[in-house]
Every structure is written in C-alpha cells, then in structure tokens.
Amino acid sequence: MDKQAQISAIAERPVARGFALIGGRRAEALSGRRRAAVSPIDGTVLTELPDCAAEDVDSAVAIARATFEKREWAGMPPKERKRRMVRWAELIAAEALELAVLESRDMGMPFAMAEGLDIAFAIDTIRWYGELADKIYDEMISLDDTVTALIFRAPLGVVGAILPWNAPAMIGAWKLGPALVTGNSVVVKPSEEASLVMLRMGELALEAGIPAGALQIVTGAGEVGKALSEHRDVDCITFTGSGVTGRALMHASANSNLKRVSLELGGKSANIVMADAPDLDMAADVAVRFMFSNQGQVCEAPSRLLVQRGIEDEFVGRIVEKAKTLRIGNPLDLANDLGPVISGSHRQAIVSKIERAHASGAALTLDGRNAEGPAGGYYLGPTIVSRVDPASALAQEEVFGPVLSVIAFDRIEDAIAIANQTRYGLGASIWSANLDNVFYAASRLVAGNINVNGGTGPVVEMPFGGFKESGFGRDRSMHALDLYSDLKNVAIRRSARP
C-alpha cells in the first residue's frame, strides 16, 4: 500500500472513546461530564473526553505525591529509568504513523509535519532524555582535608505540565523528558483542543514501565490547568501557551505555595533579509515554508519579514509566487501543504486582524481569506500584508495564523531596532553573507532562538525559550534539567588525621 493509501485507511478508523489517565487507569471525570473532541478538518466529533475539574486534579496529584514519596520512580536505578524511557520512545516510534494521522485529525496539522516534526521530535526528545538518565552526575568539592562537600541534584516532586494544541506531542515531550529523567512525578494537562495523541503516548508510557503515578493525564478545559496551578502540593508548573494564561499561572503560584513556574509564551519573530544574503531564493523559500507551516500556528513563526530596501520588490515578488503554490485542504492529503486552523473562532480572530490592518492602510499583497477546504472545516490561505507599520497592531500582536507582515528597512541597525520593538523575544532570523552583520545581529537581537541563513529545526540538543514577554525558562537540552531539579548541599566534616 502506498503512503497515501495507508494514511487514508488509518483515518477511516473511528477514534476510540477517550479517557483521562489517573493512577494507571483509564478514568472518567468524577463528575461524569464529557466534552467533544472536534476535528478542525471538517468539524466532525472524533470522540468525547472526560471534562475533568479540580477534584480530578486532586486525585492525580495525591497519587503523584505518593509515588514520589515511595520513590517508585525517583529511587529507581538510573539505568533502569533509562531503559524504560528509551522503551517508551520505541513504542511511540512503532505507532508513529497512527499517531501522526491522529494528530492531523485532532488538530489539523499537515500529515507530513505531524509525522516528520511533531511525532518524530517527540520520539527523539524522549529517547535523548532517557539516555541521559545514567549520565547525570552529582558534584563533589574538597574544601579542605576535613570537609567534603557534595552537591546533589534533587527532583522537585510533583510537576504539572500544561500544554498547548499546536504541537502537542513534541512540546509535551520537551517537558516530560527532562521532568521524568530527573525523577519527578508529572501530571499532564493537555490542551482541550488536542489531547488525543498525548493520551495515547501516556498509555504507551505505562506499557514501557513508567510507574502509574509518575505520569498521569488529566483532560479538560483551562479549569484543570488552573487547579494544578493553584494546588499546594504541586511543586512546579511548566507551561507553553498564551501570555494571558502565563500571567494567571504566576498569580496562582504567588497565591498558593510559590511553586516554580516556567513559561513558553508567544512570539512575533522578525526575519531579517539583507541584500547580501547568500541565497535569496533559499531565503524566500524558508521565509514562506517556515511562516506558513502548521497554518502559521507556530509560536516561533517568522511573522515579520524585514527586507532591506533595494531588494524589497523583488523579494516580496518571490515570496508571493512561492506562497501561491502552497496547496490548502485536507491535511491528511499528502498533496496539501496547509490544513485548517484550529477552530472557527480562531479563524474569525485571524480574519479580523487582517481586516483591521487593511483598513488602516496596509496592502493585502496576497489574500488567503477565500481559501477553501472540506466543508465544515476552518480554512484560511497564506496572507501577505505589505507596507506594514512596525508599530501597528498587526506588527505588534501575535496572530498565530497564516499572516505575514512585510516591513522594509535601510540599515542593519534599523532592522534590529524594529526587530526588538515588540514585547516578545522568542525567535529571530537573519540572512546575510557578511559575518560582521551576523555577529552584530546575534549580539543585539533580543530573542532566545536566532537562526542565521536558515539555521536549524527544533532540535532537542539546543535550549528553547524566550526573552521579555515570550516567557522564561528553557525547554530542551541539558539546561532544561535545571527547571525540574534543585541543588542540595551536603557538607561532611571528618575527623582530622595526621
């Protein structure tokens, strides 16, 4: 069977009835309430999931705490923890095709991205952290002949991971990998818009031998995240999502037990194209592919294109031509590059932002508002808005949809000033063959993730996170271990010997 036939055959299967995963068992909400999981492809109900609330969070947290206190997971020999986490990655890999199809159906991600990015990077991340388990050493310092000082890295206890819908498996793995490998018990709150893949990953974790209380999943709306964030027995909240929720989480921490909070929030990343870019065609290609991947629903999407005056017309011409070739429709069809956006209300919010920018004088160089896809779905094509005022709402606010703003600049200093002129600081890119420009930009851009001449994808080896209102704390890499562990000093005085 060819790939397309395989995808279509899997997508025909009904989605099994959904459950939360509490204490190693498939659980209903204590209230018995359920909510629909709707596919943005055509608005059909895929299944129903428990609509959990604070009482369900209480049960999961109590189990997580008990597991931690019994050291079922934290006390397991690191080699064994490694074996189970790597096994978990292998089980996900064995179901990668099914999971990618499920992700496409649940949140509308184009299949190729679901398979090649969301699921593939989730597998790599879990394996990478699993393999780290027996390679994390504590430290020892000899202060003098009579005092030996040890520095232990200790897990925090119970971690609450609150996830967004835009790349649930990959972003979930960025949090679960380091939180689990350091020995914590984790309670996951997936987004109500896209929970299905994380739920299956949770079942596979149990199958791989991760203890029932070390990884639990509580489904439901923001109320579940709120209950986790206010819980006095949760030691850390790791979050990816909107700034509004991020602020609420910090309040909740301050008003409860001062739990640690890490926030990966939105962005308005600038993509600076200098006239001396080494390959303008590649720059145009990446500008379009990166911007419109996942329908622009990527926190790091290069949504402000800053083009040096002189090449502006030619470069914008190239990106418009490339954007026009992107095909929109059912994300399960391999011929399509873009699927639907997550919901009807999100589509409407994006359209309003385009209309507002148009009304205030920006040029709609490419208008995706009439794009069509399967009936009942929420489709929107690539939209390119030129002559955007860098201070305008379109250039300042995150759209989280397929809308690119084009801004011209004269000197690199101007480009950097414009790039830094938002409250965000997540990503930035620069295209230039001049090393002076590249290093100058890298040192002055206020962003956590800077790509030069194409850069690289979301690799687990490099930390990820933002400056300013894009949040704080870093997912991925060894640095993420610091989020989920703390240091403990033990100074041992010995008797002096001649």
Contact footprint for ligand NAD (CB under 6 A): 162-166, 171, 189, 191-192, 221-222, 225-226, 229, 240-242, 245, 248-249, 264-267, 299, 398, 400, 426, 466, 470
Task: Give 331 or 473: the residue with its C-beta nearer to ligand NAD.
Answer: 473
* Structure-token match 């971690």, residue found: 159
Q: In a 3-state reduction of DSSP, which class is residue 31?
A: coil
Helix, strand, coil in percent for the chain, rounding step 5: 40, 20, 35
Task: Give 19 or 73: the residue with its C-beta nearer to ligand NAD.
Answer: 19
Least separation in angstroms between CB 434 and ligand NAD: 30
Least separation in angstroms between CB 126 and ligand NAD: 18
Nearest to 272 by CA among 365, 383, 423, 409: 409
SS (H, E, C) 296-354: HCCCCCCCEEEEECCCHHHHHHHHHHHHHCCCECCCCCCCCCECCCCCHHHHHHHHHHH
Backbone angles phi, psi at 9, to 5 degrees: -65, -40
Query: What radius of gyration do the chain's Cα atoms show?
Result: 24
Task: Give 160 or 213: the residue with its C-beta nearer to ligand NAD.
Answer: 160
Given a contact cutoff of 8 angstroms between Cβ atoms, the answer to whether 56 and 222 are in contact is no
Point out the residue whose Cβ comes nearest to ligand NAD.
225
Task: Give 284 or 354: the residue with its C-beta nearer to ligand NAD.
Answer: 354
In angstroms, the CA 165 to CA 167 distance is 6
Least separation in angstroms between CB 383 and ligand NAD: 18
Which residues sit opposite 406 in a β-bridge? 305
> Is 28 a residue of the active site?
no
Out of 264, 312, 398, 469, pick the active-site residue: 264
Least separation in angstroms between CB 217 and ligand NAD: 12
* Structure-token match 């065609």, residue found: 281
Half-sphere exposure in the Cβ direction for 472 (13 Å, CA): 6
Out of 52, 299, 300, 312, pick the active-site residue: 299
Task: Give 253 or 383: the residue with its C-beta nearer to ligand NAD.
Answer: 253
Least separation in angstroms between CB 263 and ligand NAD: 8
Least separation in angstroms between CB 207 and ligand NAD: 25
> Is 299 a residue of the active site?
yes
Task: Give 207 or 461: the residue with its C-beta nearer to ligand NAD.
Answer: 461
The DSSP string of 36-64 is EEE-TTT--EEEEEE---HHHHHHHHHHH
CA 423 and chain centroid, separation: 19
- Catalytically annotated residues: 264, 299
